[in-house]
Amino acid sequence: MAFKRFIDPRRWPSPLVFLVALVGVFFISGVVVSLAIHLLGSRDAFAAARQAALPWLFVWRWACYAGLIVGWVRLWKPRVVKRLNEDRDGGDEARSRLKRLEALAIGAMVSIEIFNLIDWLGGAS
């Protein structure tokens, strides 16, 4: 019976799910990069192809950010705010925390893009 608990990911603790997902993403990324290097013939060819693709990757990231923002504002945030209104205090404290969390998420996205821009302009040589 205890063995079934470890097989079913829905019963895993959240930090374990996060770590497994993180390791999985890094592993898949490594496989993709290794395959790309193999197909292009060398690491230098891969670096040149990556450099040529940077503007399109920038557009891709911002499209993903826009999709997440639209999904949050139109789909998930109204549900969250509706649940917060059911709190004992009317959700005042939770709404202020939610605003701080939104600001932190936007700051993280901007920081990531600033570091990518510095790298793109050759500042991280």
Assess contact for 34 and 42: CB atoms under 8 A: no
Q: Provide the percentage of residues in the chain whose pLDDT is more than 70.
A: 93
Q: Tell me what the mean pLDDT of segment 49-58 comes to.
A: 89
Q: Tell whether 25 and 75 lie within a shared domain.
A: no
Q: How many domains does the chain fold into?
A: 2
CB atoms within 10 A of CB 117: 12
Q: Tell whether 30 and 63 lie within a shared domain.
A: no
Q: How far apart are CA 85 and CA 77, in angstroms?
A: 12
Question: Residue 119: which domain range?
Answer: 54-125
Q: Tell whether 73 and 114 lie within a shared domain.
A: yes
pTM reported for the whole predicted model: 0.67
Nearest CA-CA partner of 97 in 111, 80, 75, 73: 80
pLDDT at 72 over 60: yes
Q: What angle do CA 11, 25, 123 make, to 5 degrees?
A: 140
Q: Which residues contact 66 (CB under 8 A, 6 or more apart)?
A: none
Kindly report which listed range (45-54, 65-74, 96-105, 114-123) carries the lowest average pLDDT score: 114-123
Banded pLDDT at 117 (limits 50, 70, 90): confident
Best-predicted range by mean pLDDT (4-18, 19-33, 48-62, 88-102): 19-33
- Is 119 part of a structural domain of the chain? yes
- Is 97 part of a structural domain of the chain? yes
End-to-end CA distance of the chain: 54
pLDDT at 123: 65
Q: Tell whether 75 and 96 lie within a shared domain.
A: yes
pLDDT at 124: 57
- Is 48 part of a structural domain of the chain? no
Q: Tell whether 61 and 113 lie within a shared domain.
A: yes
pLDDT at 125: 52
